[in-house]
Amino acid sequence: MPKDTYYLTAHCPGSLGTVDVVTRYLHEQGCYVVEMQTFDDVLSEHFFIRAEFRPPAEQPFDEAAFRTGFAPRAAGFAMEWRLAASHDRPNVVIMVSRLDHCLNDLLYRYRTGQLPIEIPAIISNHPDLQRLADWHHIPYYHLPVSDDNRAEQEAEVMGILNECEADLVVLARYMQVLSPELCARLKGRAINIHHSLLPGFRGDNPYHQAYHKGVKLVGATAHYINNDLDEGPIITQGVEVVDHSHYPEQLIAKGKDIECMTLARAVQYHIEHRVFLHNDKTVVFAS
């Protein structure tokens, strides 16, 4: 994979020339397109494009000049656009409760470089995973929460996010419902993971409920948070077939594995600027 690539992402009303305005400008700048994906939503009449490109090797890439040159061309199509570098490492704050499988998986991918991110803080409403954070030399904030102190606790959470200059928040099995105010402030930059069992099983012991109903599919959904519990815009999902031979403990283990993979994939898609959030729905250019 070539190093030092850049992402140019844009969306705008669908019209003739939207692909050309991007590809022509990249060609004029001597940029080599590594990957290009587009989608024209005929229902909303909206166009989406993502180009990953490598600048000319002969001289340093001038991001400011690139932005200045592209801006008037994008304006002609009412494009909302963004330029980002693949070598940038966004600040990702992880929130977790007691279950450690998703946190542990993300920390492993962070430690080995599979996820090119920085983790400036881990926030939890329980003290249980302090040692795991300490081992990775990541500050761990234990912020207990109840109905009596929820507003104060969320204010502390927001203070930490601001101090860390968090680009993304990952709820790695954070078992608390966020307030509408916090959901609004984190719109488009907070990812949650939850199990996906069909039919839906809520409350305690969902896998035991699923076992007694003879569940045939176990899965997980990663989505951006909103004020509707577990119903935010979906980024990615994972699923595996199971049958009568899977006891509750095996369903739980399989579910945890799927949650880890699905959450990590969602984080990867987000930091690689593969996800467009448009009208509370996602357009995702999968890798």
Q: Which H/E stretch holds residue 41?
A: strand 32-41
Question: CATH no. for residue 76?
Answer: 3.30.70.260
Q: What is the pLDDT of residue 279?
A: 85
Q: What is the pLDDT of residue 221?
A: 95
For the chain, helix (H) and strand (E) counts, in that order, are: 8, 13
Q: Domain boundary residue among 85, 116, 148?
A: 85
b/e burial code for range 29-57 (CB count within 10 A of at least 16 → b): bebeeeebbebebeeeebbbbbbbbbbee
Q: What is the pLDDT of residue 132?
A: 97
Q: What is the pLDDT of residue 287?
A: 86
Tokens of residue 252, six digits: 């739980």
* Active centre residues (catalytic): 230
What global pTM score does this model have? 0.94
**Helix locations, the chain, DSSP H:** 18-28, 63-75, 101-111, 130-135, 150-164, 180-185, 206-212, 248-271
Question: Does 234 reside within a domain?
Answer: yes
CA distance 236 to 158: 26
Please list the pLDDT of the chain residue by residue as tens digits (287 residues): 456 899 999 999 999 999 999 999 999 999 999 999 999 999 999 999 999 999 998 888 999 999 999 999 999 999 999 999 999 999 999 999 999 999 999 999 999 999 999 999 999 999 999 999 999 999 999 999 998 999 999 999 999 999 999 999 999 999 999 999 999 999 999 999 998 875 677 777 888 988 988 999 999 999 999 987 778 999 999 999 999 999 999 999 999 999 999 999 999 999 999 999 998 899 999 98
Q: What is the pLDDT of residue 205?
A: 84
Q: What is the pLDDT of residue 196?
A: 83
Looking at residue 92, what DSSP letter applies?
E
Q: What is the pLDDT of residue 104?
A: 98
Question: Does 197 reside within a domain?
Answer: yes
Question: Does 229 reside within a domain?
Answer: yes
Split into its structural domains, the chain has a count of 2
Distance, C-alpha 25 to centroid of its chain: 29
Same domain, 11 and 99: no
Same domain, 173 and 144: yes
Q: What is the pLDDT of residue 198?
A: 59
Same domain, 80 and 206: no
Same domain, 97 and 78: no
